[in-house]
Chains A and B, each alone.
Chain A
Amino acid sequence: MKVSVSWLKEFVEITREPRQLASDLTMIGLNVEALVAAGGDWVLDLEVTTNRPDCLNHYGVARELATRERLPLKKVEVSLKESGELAARAVSIEILDSDLCARYCGRVLRNVQVGPSPDWLVKRLEAVGQRSINNVADATNYVLMELGHPLHAFDLARLKQQKIIVRRAKPGEPLRTLDGVTRTLTRENLVIADGAYPVALAGVMGGEESEIAVSTRNVLLESAWFDPVSIRRTSKAQGLHTEASHRFERGADIQMAPLALDRAAALIQKTAGGEVLTGIVDVYPRPWQPRELTLTKLEIARLLGTEIPEPEVERILRGLGFKFVGGTRESWRVSVPSFRLDVSQEVDLVEEVARHVGYDRLPARVRPAPPRVEKDTTREKVITVSSLLASLGFHEMIASSMVDPVEGEEFSNSQPVLLANPLSQDASALRTSAIPGMLRAIRWNLDRGAVDVKLFELGKTYSIVNGAPEEHCVLSLGTTGHRRPASVYDGEAELSFFDLKGDLETVLGTFEAPEWEFEPTAHTYLQPGASGRLRTRGEELVVFGLIQEDLAREYKLRRPVWTAEINFGRLLEFPLRARKFQAISKFPAVERDFSLVVPDNVAYALLAAAIAGAATEELRSFRPVDRFRGGAIPAGHYSLLLRATFQSQAHTLTSEEIASLSQHLLDALEPLGVRLRG
């Protein structure tokens, strides 16, 4: 909303510098977005919030300023010369649907000379961003900018039977509006009709048929009040947002209707000549009832944390147009002006007081909330996992939740949640999998010269389950390149399946999760033989592996890419691993290496399970250290170097004991056909 400082000065004698004025307005809630000097005048661009239609004009802004600067607000002066004939004889006005139109005022002007507006008027309109049309239309626009009440001018000669009927449109009734669009109306739309057809979309836009033209001699000026909800519905349904609908849908001032009419009529008389017929035709089926509210002194203090001196409260509310109509020692009875439809409760009055006292003058205090005993375990888990991943070299990323619905098909069987009004096809569904976004992120980096990329994302996927949308927490990992880059210290080593598996084991190892088992099969988007899943109690917790070749090509990935999807929502249900001290044996631990010959068909997991199944207390740990084929190793077998650690809590193990423990371990492997290398 553009406001001219010189225009404001017609209603309040401001002496403040424009810059100071802008700051003052901002501090009472009329945020000044720009201040521009224009031909000896200053124009303020105000951000008027949707609750304040009364400030969508100069007079309303002047009222706020007058209250703020403690200056008087001048009355709107109208000097109008009426001539003999009664307007009511020249036109008849009828409201059929008074639920949607509470008041309709009309004035008739005769023998006007439609033509260009004088310079001062054109300049003023242009200063506030309005284009000049002709002296009649400009007068209505001028009043709109000045007093905020939307008016409309009809060519009276074009109104059949010199009649105005305010009614709901008939279904399918056509109306060609001023923008040249022929609109098909419904019962939802309120129209202004003449004796036969609609001539305007009430409160939104006039019709082309009755538009003021150079040939127009007689004018009917309309100043009405329409129901905000109805105007909003019509404006939305017709996709037509105008200066008039903008104000009516926010709530116009019903009591302003006659004054605005007079102001416009006087202006037309001045710039286009003609005579103004006597009287206003004022059809007012639902007269305004002033709303009365009680404001208690206690409530001001309860909400603002301080008492405001009574004279200050009264000065502010009076300045803003409220009337004091009664009260007690503890409270005021306040009558709300017709232009403040937003003020409907006591708290709204408190805000008015707070605004004009100035938020910066209100006290401040900081008090902590009562401390809580409960620990935020979810946050603790999230921080643990993400910090761990960062330590493992993964960068956290955030990808868009909105994707192309087809992209998820290769990664998930879930039914995507579709948007009704997406920004684009690329962002018309919520992702069912985080992997496509991960692949795009890796490609983005590979395309920009990166070689080693490790990314993770902690986010959500979305799907329709049993007809209702659901959100799932997922942790996704993506890696490509080397385990470590080449340096003077180490040669470079390509990432392998086991690097990712190891990182996943590290992450899962921070949780008190039940034993998980590995299964070497995974989704089709992963390469068979280089992928798998981790399950716990038969439930899938992780799917990971190498991206399948065709997909890698489709995503234009120049290098092998490994990904993992972790059902994070499920993981969060497990507690973090409890830290419990295990007594450290005072006696030395002994490591023994076993050089084993293992048949190819015996999986390491099987071998490990056999050892674990027969484990003695002294077998503290075991791990594979090396493996190789060929040489003296028979075909269909490989050699595995297994390193076991033995230790007793009770004594130093003797050589005999170690020999016996070693034999026990070998015995457990024998049924699998695993033997010591000869």
Chain B
Amino acid sequence: MTIDQKVHTTLAELSIADAAGVEAAFTEVRAAMQAERDALLARGAASEAEREKLCKDLRDRWLARKNGILSALDENWLKAAKKELKPFVGKSFNALRQESATLETLALMMDVPLRALPESPRGIPDAGSPSSVAVQVSRETPSDLTFPGNRRPLGTLHPVTQMQREIEEIFLNLGFHIESGPEIESVYYNFDALNIPESHPSRDDWDTLYIDSKTVLRTHTSPVQIRAMEKYSAPLHIIIPGKCYRHDNPDASHSPMFHQIEGLSIAADVTFADLKGTLDFFAKRLFGEKIRTRFQPSFFPFTEPSGEVSISCIFCGGEGCRVCKESGWIEVMGCGMVHPQVLRNGGIDPKKYSGWAFGLGVDRFAMLKYDINDIQLFFQSDVRFLEQF
């Protein structure tokens, strides 16, 4: 029985009574359609007129409303199918109909009038048929499919950038926004406005790189606190990432250039409880829920009260190890309530507003998180290092 005969016969008459039978029947029809199409493509056309005629004939044979093969299938196989077989027939029929769309554009594939370079690739409309996929499989492809996949080399973001982004995300989610300021900073913003007068020994806590007597490379991101207060006044909830510089000779734990993130939160009802709660939340989000934080008093001229935050050692869980020097705690950042004089210097009334602030070293956080023992690795640009992140 030819295909043409089959499609004019009902499934019942063909003794097809199950899903497998339906599928086999449709596969046969599909194969016939592809074979006719491929044969036509292989044959080609001598002229435009001939091409048009050949394509039209094939289209009509399969797709014509009257007497087309697909119409016949609709009548004899689908509509006449038994109720229990209908879903299978419908599914296969739809797939076949989709595939038959390739017959519509056949003419476009068949003839390339300016085919000067026969080996040049031709536009292949997405036929989605198994045969066209098979054509694309290259001869050089090993037939051994256990060969590794053909991966394209990916680059990486610097670990300090990744750490910075991760920290930023946590505070962005808390409603903070990101501020920035210059690295070449005036002595006023870097020190004086932060309550660090030249006449006080606390100025010596920052080993400073000077451009001239009034200009420095900022030793911390804190000057942006004042700049932001001047710019936005209160309330203010910001974090400030950026490069900072110190007159430190480079070694495994010091770099004259490093990265800080400063946080500042000023509002009418901000208290030390907000400072503690937020930084504890931050530490847990960053290092894990089990992390505990410890706050101990410290001194910074721009905060009062001032504190130092330690986290329970992320390596030993607080039992004591090499990293935490057997103490169970790792000091990670400085913090405190913004000093009233600093608020005043930023044009904010300390009677109406209070604030808290923190500062942390991004490089140090990245070293902790990724267990890196030498800060110099960050700035050597060694691909063997960078590609690990």
> Is B156 in the interface zone, CB < 8 Å from A?
yes
Query: 5 pairs across A/B with beta carbons < 8 Å?
Result: A304-B272, A351-B306, A372-B175, A383-B165, A396-B161
Among the listed stretches A116-124, A323-331, A413-421, A556-564, which one makes contact with chain B, having 4 or more residues with CB under 8 Å of it? A413-421
Chain A, residues 65-84, CB within 8 Å of chain B (1/0): the string is 00000000000000000000
CB interface residues, B 92-133, toward A, < 8 Å: 104-105, 107-108, 112-117, 120, 122-123, 125
> CB distance B147 to A398 under 8 Å?
no
Residue from A228, A246, A348, A395 within 8 A of B386 (CB atoms): A395
> Is A460 in the interface zone, CB < 8 Å from B?
yes
> Is B5 in the interface zone, CB < 8 Å from A?
no
Closest approach, in angstroms, between the C-beta of B375 and any C-beta of chain A?
11
Closest approach, in angstroms, between the C-beta of B265 and any C-beta of chain A?
7
> Is A249 in the interface zone, CB < 8 Å from B?
yes
Chain B, residues 172-207, CB within 8 Å of chain A (1/0): the string is 111111100011100000000000000111101100
> CB distance B273 to A49 under 8 Å?
no
Closest approach, in angstroms, between the C-beta of A678 and any C-beta of chain B?
10
**Bound CA–CA A417/B243 (angstroms):** 16
> Is A362 in the interface zone, CB < 8 Å from B?
yes
> Is B256 in the interface zone, CB < 8 Å from A?
yes
Among the listed stretches A180-188, A195-203, A589-597, A603-611, which one makes contact with chain B, having 4 or more residues with CB under 8 Å of it? A589-597
> Is A250 in the interface zone, CB < 8 Å from B?
yes
Chain A, residues 227-255, CB within 8 Å of chain B (1/0): the string is 01100110000000000001001100000
How many B residues face the partner with a CB closer than 8 A? 101
> Is A354 in the interface zone, CB < 8 Å from B?
yes
> CB distance A390 to B272 under 8 Å?
no
> CB distance A366 to B281 under 8 Å?
yes
> CB distance A50 to B202 under 8 Å?
yes
> CB distance B276 to A364 under 8 Å?
yes
**Bound CA–CA A389/B157 (angstroms):** 9
**Bound CA–CA A345/B195 (angstroms):** 13
Closest approach, in angstroms, between the C-beta of A5 and any C-beta of chain B?
19
Residue from A249, A376, A595 within 8 A of B201 (CB atoms): A249
CB interface residues, A 366-402, toward B, < 8 Å: 366-372, 374, 376, 378-379, 383, 386-387, 389-402
Closest to A359 in B: B295
* Main SS at interface, chain B: mixed
Query: Hey, which chain A residues are within 8 Å of B52, CB to CB?
Result: 655
Closest to B149 in A: A489
Closest to A459 in B: B243
* Residues in A lying within 8 Å of B, measured CB to CB: 26-29, 31, 49-52, 228-229, 232-233, 246, 249-250, 302-306, 345, 347-348, 350-351, 354-355, 359-360, 362-372, 374, 376, 378-379, 383, 386-387, 389-402, 417-423, 427, 430, 440-441, 444-445, 448, 450, 452-456, 460, 462, 469, 471, 484-485, 487-490, 588-595, 625-626, 641, 645, 655, 659, 662, 676-677
Query: Hey, which chain B residues are within 8 Å of A595, CB to CB?
Result: 114, 116-117
Among the listed stretches B12-20, B28-36, B61-69, B209-217, which one makes contact with chain A, having 4 or more residues with CB under 8 Å of it? B209-217
> CB distance B386 to A396 under 8 Å?
yes
* Residues in B lying within 8 Å of A, measured CB to CB: 48, 52, 104-105, 107-108, 112-117, 120, 122-123, 125, 140-142, 147, 150, 152-158, 160-161, 165, 168, 172-178, 182-184, 199-202, 204-205, 208-213, 215, 217, 235, 237, 243, 245, 247-249, 256-257, 265, 267, 271-274, 276-278, 280-281, 294-299, 301, 304-308, 337, 339-340, 354, 378-384, 386-387
**Bound CA–CA A228/B147 (angstroms):** 76
Query: Hey, which chain A residues are within 8 Å of B182, CB to CB?
Result: 471
> CB distance A395 to B265 under 8 Å?
no
Extra inter-chain contacts (6) besides given A423-B248, A677-B116, CB under 8 Å: A363-B273, A368-B174, A372-B175, A395-B387, A401-B183, A655-B48
**Bound CA–CA A328/B204 (angstroms):** 41
> CB distance A471 to B184 under 8 Å?
yes
Query: Hey, which chain B residues are within 8 Å of A594, CB to CB?
Result: 114
> CB distance A351 to B305 under 8 Å?
yes
Query: Hey, which chain B residues are within 8 Å of A383, CB to CB?
Result: 165
Query: Hey, which chain B residues are within 8 Å of A419, CB to CB?
Result: 209-211, 217
> CB distance A302 to B210 under 8 Å?
no
Residue from B120, B177, B235, B243 within 8 A of A641 (CB atoms): B120
Query: Hey, which chain A residues are within 8 Å of B48, CB to CB?
Result: 655
> CB distance A364 to B277 under 8 Å?
yes
Closest to A352 in B: B305
Known: A396-B158, A452-B153. A50 touches B299 (CB 8 A): yes
Query: Hey, which chain A residues are within 8 Å of B168, CB to CB?
Result: 379
